[in-house]
Amino acid sequence: MPVTLVTGQPGHGKTAYALTLAKQQADKGRAVYAHGIKDLDYDRIGFKRLDDPLKWYELPDGALIVIDECYGVFPNRNAAANVPEHVKQMATHRHRGFDFILIAQQGLQVDPFLRGLYENHYHMRNAWGGRVTKVKRWDQYQANIKAQSADTIRWIRTNEIFSYYTSTTLNTRGRRLPMWLVYATLGVLVVVGLTWYARHRMLTKYAPDHTSVASAAPGSAPVPGVLPGASDVPKYRDPADYAKQHLARFPSMPWTAPVYDQRQVTADPQVLCMSSEPGTDAQGNHANRSCTCLTEQGTLLDLPADVCQHVARRGPSYNPYRQTQPSRPEFPQDTAHAPPMDPRADRTLGPGADSVPFGGHASYGDIGVTPANGPAPKASPGV
């Protein structure tokens, strides 16, 4: 093993790594001398004590010499100053088989005479703030420890190596995650967040935009026939349940069906019924009794005969939900040029002496409607 330099900040494991390298040689039977390592147990680790490092060249040939905080033995020196003898002897250390492991915080602390002698330069850097250490190796002295190295390994310090000596008595450095791990974690969080946001946007975009019958205002009664937890579109258990929800509670009032209970009113349902008695129509044909009802949409409404007759004769039931339209303004009329009016027009269903009052029983039939505004509409006889 040639001259090896091990550098690193305090607490980064440089002494532990140097002892690991030296113990590998001691286990092979090589004589290892050490100096400057605090509380080193020489007997247990198998090293020998080097009392005077300035006289290292007096040791037996082939010895491996480990010096911690080596800047105390080989301090930085002015290049113009005389080279000390123990430094000068380093130039011929290979002649007698000496090898060195020098430990320092940085190479600039050590005598510049040695910089050309290093054949291995290890720099230690904690990767996790714990026992994992990043080790960079160069085959010569490297002043720029951030430069690319020949080898890079991750070394895990064992508890055994620390049992041989006393390391840092007080570690004030907190564990710090490497920046690559911080960036990777942030990247994962961003990807997860964007994925959730995109999924939420897709669900919102394609969700049905209807007012849910089941999600009525708080405190309101649930809609009959709608399954609990139903979506915006009402759900029915079967066709019979569908028909039941659309069946009016009162036959003459379609809006009383359960399906309308929680819905906003968009129209005022109206019923128009027309009945006729047996007799002869305007063409002289015989007609049987009949009664027909229509909604305001012009659709047929199937009502019992007695209800149909009642609406035709007396008009529909009172609708409290119907909006009253404002009355039309009255405009003055020019009575001087107006045609003469039949005094019976205001009480008959149509012109002629054969007309009957509205609501009366004509020779052919009756009609009952829900007027939108104003007086009841007129009808000609024979309708």
Write out residues in the chain with pLDDT < 50, as ranges: 170, 211-217, 225, 227, 229-230, 344-364, 370-383
**In 10 A of CB 222, how many CB atoms?**
14
pLDDT of residue 251: 82
Domain boundaries, given as residue ranges, for the chain: 3-162, 230-267, 270-318+346-383
Topology of the domain comprising 3-162: Rossmann fold (3.40.50)
Q: CA distances (Å), 2 to each of 97, 119, 231, in order?
A: 9, 6, 80
- The pLDDT of residue 139: 92
CA distances from 276 to 194, 251, 315, 317, 364 (A): 72, 21, 15, 20, 6
| pTM for the structure as a whole | 0.48
pLDDT of residue 122: 96
What's residue 126's pLDDT?
A: 86
In the prediction, which pLDDT does 173 show?
55
Q: pLDDT (tens digit, 9 = 90+) per residue, 66-103?
A: 999 999 999 999 878 899 999 999 998 889 999 999 99
